[in-house]
Homo-oligomer: A and B are copies of this chain.
Amino acid sequence: MNEKKLKSLRKEIDLIDKKLLKVIIKRSSIVKKIGQLKDLSKGVVDKKRENEVLNKLIKFHKGEYSKGSIIRLWREIFYSSAQLQLKKQNTLIPKRGVESIKVYKGGTAKIAGKENIIKLSSNESPFGPSKKAIEAYTRTATTLSRYPELTADSLELSISKKFKINKDQIICGTGSDEVLIFTALAFCSPGDEIIHAIHGFEMYPIITKYAGAESVLASEKDFKISIKSILENIRSSTKIIFIANPNNPTGTYLNKKELFSLIKKVPKNIVVVIDTAYAEFADAQDYDYGFNLVDNFENVLITRTFSKAYSLAGIRLGWGYGSKKLINILKRLRPPFNITPGAIAAGIEALKDKEHLQNVIVHNKKVKGWFISELNNIGLKAYDTQTNFVFVIVPEKNNLNALKVNEFLLSNGIAVRYLESYGLKNAIRITLGTKEELNKTLSTIKKLYKKND
């Protein structure tokens, strides 16, 4: 009985599919005509028009398929339309989104003609790694003909003990970047959306495109991400929200209460990633240092890194903490042996070396207030920070601006981060290096301002 009914329903599906295909074929012929009218040199994609079409469709959609699926279907149709207007075929074409990835630039690491530069461009630790971590890393050298542990099990165990959290809920990555990449790849199909701040970490839009997804930018108030804007931008194709907390490159943060109230309002099928790469440097009373959000929300992922306060950027090691359900999904995308033996060994020892970590944090706390006020005295606008860097707006005056400050510092062997690639042409970011490095930086900036006075 059921079999017969199934057969007749499937026949109905077959007829509908035929009809669908016919309409799609018809659509493609009109798209072709439109292509002939367009000036191809200006590009064929009209994002505004696409969004209008999508919004209308979602409004009109009342069926059983999810709205997210409708968006993905039409984005595939848009993509196919663009391809056909560009007349590309029989040649290598990457998947949607890949062609428009802006390759990550990173902080300046070399200055032509200069040998011992002061590198304050990548928020690295100025004191070198923990000696114990160095020793542990060195010991792995003779074992390198063997593959590492498949899943960095011993390191996960160390992390779980150190932070008193559940081992099964930890995933390690080559830098927290890799954990973010797993998340995007696990949850986003092409056509889906990821929300992040307009001035968030430079990797967020790149990672979004790795997955073929689309960035949706949340606005900010005084360089702090707006919760209201995040919530307003959520729709059926939103899969992930990336929040750097504290934020890179602005040093701002959402406090415990703000985070909680945001996450409470986010639908449970959207992953909220709280990227706390700079957590160890935060000293605000109301900053959320813990992992409690994970206990309360299955859809929250908190990431941490060994690159900043633990002073081990070179081993490429970060980790994420989330619900078992979430972590088990991410683990499916973790390539085997992703963490090297040197990173496992150094990571375990760095976690034990409380003194080294403490020295790094104490130094940072010591210099940040002083450095910020010195910059402000010169006439720049340096913001308060919860990190190991300072965000600085350079007012346009006396023929000076952020670009010129950056160039003058470079010509004096000092590399800071000019934030043009973050869409902030009037700002620089300066890592809190040693007192000596910061003094040199201040005197160099002063020299420039005196010259232009």
Stretch at the interface among A6-14, A161-169, A245-253, A391-399: A6-14
Contact B77 A148 (CB under 8 A): no
Q: A3 → chain B, closest Cβ, in Å?
A: 9
User: Could you mark each residue 95-126 of chain A with 1 if its beta carbon is under 8 Å from any beta carbon of chain B, else 0?
Assistant: 11011010111110100000000010010111
Contact residues of A: prevailing secondary structure: helix
Contacts of A400 in B (CB 8 A): none
Contact B145 A129 (CB under 8 A): yes
With A188-B95, A336-B104, A342-B342 already in contact, the answer to whether A314 and B268 are too (CB < 8 A) is no
Q: A348 → chain B, closest Cβ, in Å?
A: 14
Copies of this polypeptide in the complex: 2
With A30-B16, A98-B186, A145-B128 already in contact, the answer to whether A89 and B269 are too (CB < 8 A) is yes
User: Could you mark each residue 57-98 of chain A with 1 if its beta carbon is under 8 Å from any beta carbon of chain B, else 0?
Assistant: 100111111100110111011011101100001111111101
Stretch at the interface among A131-139, A227-235, A275-283: A131-139
Contact A83 B66 (CB under 8 A): yes
**Total interface residues in chain A, CB < 8 Å:** 134
Residues of A335-381 at the interface with B, using a CB-CB cut-off of 8 Å, are 335-338, 340-343, 346
Contact A79 B70 (CB under 8 A): no
Stretch at the interface among A21-29, A218-226, A256-264, A288-296: A21-29
Given A13-B27, A138-B138, 16 extra CB contacts under 8 A: A9-B37, A12-B30, A16-B27, A17-B74, A19-B23, A21-B60, A69-B83, A92-B326, A98-B333, A106-B337, A124-B147, A133-B144, A134-B141, A137-B141, A148-B313, A174-B174
